[in-house]
Structure formats: structure tokens, C-alpha cells
């Protein structure tokens, strides 16, 4: 019987188990990676901070020195003839119409007689007291940075002294003149009443509306101090008459001041170098050069500054109260400016929008209204292209979107995402602003973005 042998297969194949992924582990790993990435991104990114709006004021209430210009109701009188002038009214004194103001000696004869007869003259005690008071006032207001004032004071006092002497000696010396000398001796009388001064600078009669920036350059308008004994030409200015107690101080407005002084109707100021404080009505206006100037009007103390044209003053304004916000919160946004008559009763604009196929639809857009703007409302320029037309309700009138303005605002996050709100700035410092609660889009206790450069409009904010 034949034997049957079983044959074993010597090749062995290893069985591989199929890869079974645990879904829970995959999800956990994904979440872990996401969390790690989020933490890394968060740690490397500056945090967005929220600021709660509150009422407040800025700490500084006084501004730095301003160089101001004094304007008065002045009339300049000219010499009637050529000769040597002698004044008979002391500078800064009031005269009545018809009072003797000066004489002109065409030959110089009267001047010779004065020199012969007044060398040993003395002043009455009351006149001497006035000189002492004037010197004391100058000493208090003296500014070492303006040494030219010393020469002005010296010339003014010399002229005043001669006028005192002339007034006392005129009647005595008139009798010593013969008929020929008298014919060459001209007396000039005041044509109108007022305060008289022989200090001239060429700015007499200048009105606030004529002011330009160049008028604040004192070197371009030097003082000319006339005094007794000087030679004058016929027709040249010899004195001015100030007819009114009303006078003005005008100063150029800095850009920041225009906002700060909005609504201010009265101001207090201190004159540098003295304890003199003045208070008067205030207004801003546009000068002849298109720049903005501030003007204060006063009804007294004119005589104390009769020979001053330029003075340094410090303006005092009560701290304005409003909503206090940080400078870092402010963001600027472009808006189209549209006349207010195009706003519907629902405070919206109706805008013609064209599709690619040429069909036109009218869309509505919110109108940003500003209380202190009586002519225009504003439309967000990021939502519509320039060249589109806004249409007037129940009319065929159309207005093309073109001109834009950059308006200040903040990002309000009361609803959890950033919304631009317009603000009206009243005043500002390096770190904070005071904004009007009446015509700004925010209120006290609103939440706004502190670091506005970290976000964009419409961002969701978690806080």
C-alpha cells in the first residue's frame, strides 16, 4: 500500500490588524492644538481694552501767554505848518474840543526863550507825584526781554516834563514875542474831545475786521514818540485823539483754541507783568486774511493802556464740563456731506444704485445728523461709491455724492460689537478730550474701545 505524505507550506504571511482610529482621541487632539494655537496668538496680541465714559473736566484752566493787539477809536491829527513843535497837554490827558494841544514855532524864537527862562523850573508836588506813580507802574510791568520799553519810558517822561514846563511858561513868554515872531507862532486846538497821545505807530484807526497776521509783528510798527522841541513837517502826524472808552484786545486763535472757546461768551485775563485782571465779552471772528481771531471788548481801564499797542496776556477760562474720554479712543472716519433737505422724515437718505445689468434701485441709508451743523447731514462713504446720486423725497432734485469730510468719533461696544459714534470735541489736552454730551453719539456710562487702533468697525468684542 502506498503511503500518503502531507506537505506543509513553509511560507508564513503575518496578519496585520486594520487601523482602528478612536474618534474621541482625534477630536481631543484637534481641540488641544486649537487651544494651544489660540493661547499663543492671544499672548502675542495686544489686548483690546474697554473704557467706561464718565463726566469730567480737564485740569488746566489757564492758557499760556498770548501776544495781543489793542485797538481803539483813534483819530490822527497832522501838523498845520512846518517848524518846532511844543505840546501843552501831557500825554494821556483828556482834552475838550477847542483846548490848546500844541504850538508850532516856525522860526525857533519861542524855543530860544524857553531855554532861557525854564532852566530852573520846578514841578508842583502833585505833578511830581504823578511822575513817581508812572515810574512805579513801569517798574512793576517791566519785562527784561523787552528792553526797548526802557527807552520808550525815558522818551515819554522827557516829553511829559517839557509839556509841564511849556504849559506854565506859555503865558509869560508870549508877552516877550514881537509882532513878527507872533505871526510865525501857530497855535493848534483840539477839533474834538478825547484822550490825547503823541505816541504813534501807524496802526491808529485799525478795526478788528482789518486785522491780519502781519499786524502782530511789533517790529514792523515801531513806536514814534514825539516831544516838545522836535522839528515837524507840515501834514505829518503829530498826535492822536481817542474818542471812546471802549477798546478791544485781539489775538490770533490756535487751532485747538477754536474748539475750546466754542460757546464761550465772556473771558477773564491777566496782563503779564502786572496784577491787572480784566473781564469782558468774547467773540471769535474771521480777519481780513481768513484766519480766526479772538476779540475781547472792554468799557473801562482804557487810559491805563493808552500808550500800549502790544501786550502779553494770559487767558483764563472756566473748565468745561462734558464727557471725558482718552485721546487713544478717538478714530476718524470719512463721510459724504449732503444738504439737509435731502434727508427724509425717517432720518434717511434715498440713494440711486445701479446693478451690472443697468437696472436702478433706490436704497435707504442712515443719515448722520450733527446738531451744530445747520446745513448738512452726513453719509458713511464706505457704503456707497462716489458719483451716485441722493434723491430728494417727492422731488426730481438729485445730489451727487462727491465731497467727503473726516469726522472724529469713537467705537461704542454696548451691543457687543464696534459701532462708530460721532463726537463733538469741546477741548482737549495731550491725553484726554472733553466732548459735548448734547451733540455727540455717546452718553455717560457707555462702553467704548480704549485703543481704537486695535479694532475695526463691526468687530465682535468680548468683555
Using CB atoms within 10 A of its CB, is residue 52 exposed (0-12), middle (13-18) or buried (19+)?
A: exposed
228 grid coordinates:
516838545
**CA 427-431-435 angle, 5° bins:** 30
Angle at 367 between CA 361 and CA 370, to 5 degrees: 160
Residue 317: all three cell numbers together: 477760562
Which one-letter DSSP state was computed for residue 440?
S
Question: Which residue has cell 463733538?
Answer: 424
Are the C-beta atoms of residues 104 and 169 closer than 8 Å to each other?
A: no
CA angle 235, 238, 242 (to 5 degrees): 120
262, three cell numbers: 466754542
| C-alpha to C-alpha distance for 262 and 427, rounded to whole angstroms | 9
- pLDDT at residue 176 in the model: 55
Please give the radius of gyration of the chain, using alpha carbons only, rounded to the nearest integer.
Answer: 41
Alpha helices in 234-375 (DSSP H): 255-260
- What separation, in Å, do the N-terminal and C-terminal C-alpha atoms of the chain show? 97
In our burial notation (b when 16+ CB lie closer than 10 A, e otherwise), range 325-350 reads bbebbbbebebbbbeeebbeeeebbb
Q: What is the largest CA-CA distance in the chain?
A: 192
CA–CA distance, 403 with 105 (Å, rounded to integer): 69
Look at strands 54-56 and 331-339 and give their pairing.
unpaired
DSSP-derived 3-state class of residue 247: strand
> What residues have CB less than 8 Å from 334, skipping those under 6 apart?
381, 382, 404, 405, 406, 407
Report pLDDT for 1.
47
- Put residue 108 in one of left, alpha, beta given phi > 0 → left and psi -120 to 50 → alpha: left
CA distances for 33 relative to 26, 37, 39, 309, angstroms:
11, 6, 10, 77
Q: Is 72:244 a contact under the CB 8 Å cutoff?
A: yes
Q: Give the count of beta carbons closer than 10 Å to the beta carbon of residue 258.
A: 12
CA separation for the pair 443, 354 (Å, rounded):
38
What are the backbone dihedrals phi and psi of residue 88, each rounded to the nearest 5 degrees, phi first? -120, 5
pLDDT for 7 = 52
pTM, two decimals, is 0.55
d(CA 245, CA 74): 11
How many whole angstroms from its chain centre is CA 269?
15
- Residue (of 135, 131, 247) closest to 195 by Cα position: 247
What cell numbers appear for 428 in the block?
A: 482737549
Q: Is 288 helix (H, G, I), strand (E, B) or coil?
A: coil
pLDDT score, position 180? 47
Low-confidence ranges of the chain (pLDDT < 70): 1-21, 41-46, 59-64, 108-184, 256, 275, 317-319
Q: Which residues contact 70 (CB under 8 A, 6 or more apart)?
A: 247, 248, 249, 305, 308, 309, 310, 311
Structure confidence at residue 246 (pLDDT): 93
Amino acid at each position: 500500500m502506498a503511503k500518503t505524505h502531507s506537505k506543509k507550506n513553509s511560507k508564513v504571511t503575518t496578519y496585520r490588524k486594520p487601523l482602528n482610529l478612536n474618534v474621541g482621541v482625534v477630536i481631543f487632539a484637534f481641540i488641544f492644538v486649537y487651544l494651544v494655537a489660540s493661547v499663543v496668538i492671544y499672548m502675542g496680541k495686544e489686548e483690546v481694552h474697554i473704557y467706561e465714559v464718565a463726566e469730567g473736566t480737564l485740569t488746566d484752566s489757564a492758557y499760556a501767554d498770548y501776544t495781543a493787539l489793542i485797538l481803539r477809536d483813534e483819530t490822527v491829527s497832522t501838523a498845520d505848518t512846518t517848524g518846532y513843535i511844543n505840546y501843552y497837554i501831557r500825554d494821556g490827558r483828556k482834552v475838550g474840543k477847542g483846548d490848546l494841544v500844541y504850538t508850532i514855532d516856525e522860526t525857533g524864537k519861542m524855543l530860544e526863550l524857553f531855554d532861557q527862562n525854564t532852566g530852573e523850573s520846578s514841578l508842583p508836588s502833585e505833578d511830581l507825584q504823578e511822575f513817581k506813580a508812572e515810574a512805579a507802574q513801569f517798574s512793576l510791568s517791566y519785562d527784561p526781554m523787552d528792553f526797548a520799553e526802557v527807552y520808550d519810558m525815558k522818551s515819554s517822561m522827557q516829553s511829559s516834563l517839557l509839556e509841564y514846563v511849556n504849559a506854565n511858561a506859555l503865558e509869560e513868554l508870549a508877552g516877550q514875542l514881537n509882532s513878527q515872531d507872533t505871526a510865525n507862532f501857530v497855535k493848534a486846538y483840539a477839533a474834538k474831545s478825547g484822550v490825547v497821545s503823541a505816541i504813534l505807530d501807524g496802526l491808529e484807526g485799525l478795526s478788528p475786521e482789518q486785522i491780519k497776521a502781519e499786524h502782530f509783528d511789533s517790529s514792523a510798527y515801531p513806536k514814534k514818540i514825539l516831544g516838545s522841541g522836535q522839528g515837524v513837517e507840515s501834514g505829518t502826524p503829530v498826535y492822536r485823539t481817542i474818542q471812546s472808552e471802549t477798546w478791544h484786545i485781539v489775538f490770533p486763535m490756535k487751532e485747538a483754541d477754536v474748539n475750546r472757546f466754542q460757546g464761550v461768551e465772556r473771558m477773564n485775563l491777566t496782563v503779564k507783568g502786572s496784577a491787572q485782571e480784566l473781564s469782558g465779552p468774547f467773540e471769535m471772528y474771521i480777519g481780513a486774511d481768513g484766519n480766526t481771531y479772538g476779540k475781547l471788548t472792554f468799557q473801562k481801564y482804557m487810559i491805563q493802556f493808552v500808550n500800549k499797542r502790544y501786550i502779553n496776556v494770559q487767558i483764563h477760562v472756566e473748565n468745561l464740563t462734558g464727557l471725558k474720554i482718552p485721546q487713544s479712543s478717538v478714530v476718524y472716519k470719512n463721510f459724504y456731506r449732503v444738504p439737509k433737505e435731502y434727508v427724509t422724515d425717517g432720518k434717511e437718505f434715498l440713494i440711486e444704485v445701479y446693478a451690472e445689468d443697468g437696472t436702478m434701485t433706490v436704497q435707504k441709508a442712515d443719515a448722520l445728523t450733527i446738531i451744530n451743523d445747520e446745513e448738512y447731514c452726513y453719509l458713511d462713504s464706505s457704503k456707497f461709491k462716489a458719483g451716485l446720486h441722493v434723491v430728494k423725497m417727492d422731488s426730481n432734485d438729485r445730489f451727487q455724492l462727491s465731497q467727503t469730510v473726516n469726522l472724529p468719533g469713537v467705537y461704542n461696544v454696548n451691543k457687543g460689537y464696534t459701532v462708530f459714534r460721532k463726537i463733538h470735541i469741546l477741548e482737549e489736552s495731550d491725553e484726554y478730550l472733553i466732548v459735548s454730551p448734547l451733540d455727540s453719539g455717546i452718553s455717560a456710562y457707555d462702553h467704548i474701545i480704549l485703543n481704537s487702533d486695535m479694532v475695526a468697525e463691526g468687530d465682535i468684542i468680548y468683555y
